[in-house]
Structure 1
């Protein structure tokens, strides 16, 4: 919760790259980082009733244009954590 969203995104990306690297030691470290990031999901889940990025995308997509700005403002400062199963192909994290 104390990290800037851009730092969380960078950590998430690095963790996913490590997981998909094919190197067991790097993959283990990547999973540890991802686990640490995901532990903070409870605060997001309490506030928004979800922590899944797809749910946030659906909420924005299905909101009328007049409500989108308010929804974006409510989500300001939020960094969503992508998990490995979000990527059909590992190279998408490069």
Structure 2
């Protein structure tokens, strides 16, 4: 089933695939970090009202396919998500 959005200007179903790889291809995302990264990406997408169609956070690359509104520019989507997994709030 393909989900499309009907707007005043037309019909669209826009999605972006984003892949992040660690520098020098080192295995950095261990199990607890994987779970936290997954949660933070999903939280940011929920805040922005983006739909996560697919998300894989294995030990090497982070692979995300996200459905967004037409008004969201691809680099701005990437900018919002790139910094998010690594900006972990510190407990005071």
Q: TM-score, normalised by structure 2?
A: 0.34
Question: Greater helix share, 1 or 2?
Answer: 1
Q: TM-score, normalised by structure 1?
A: 0.33
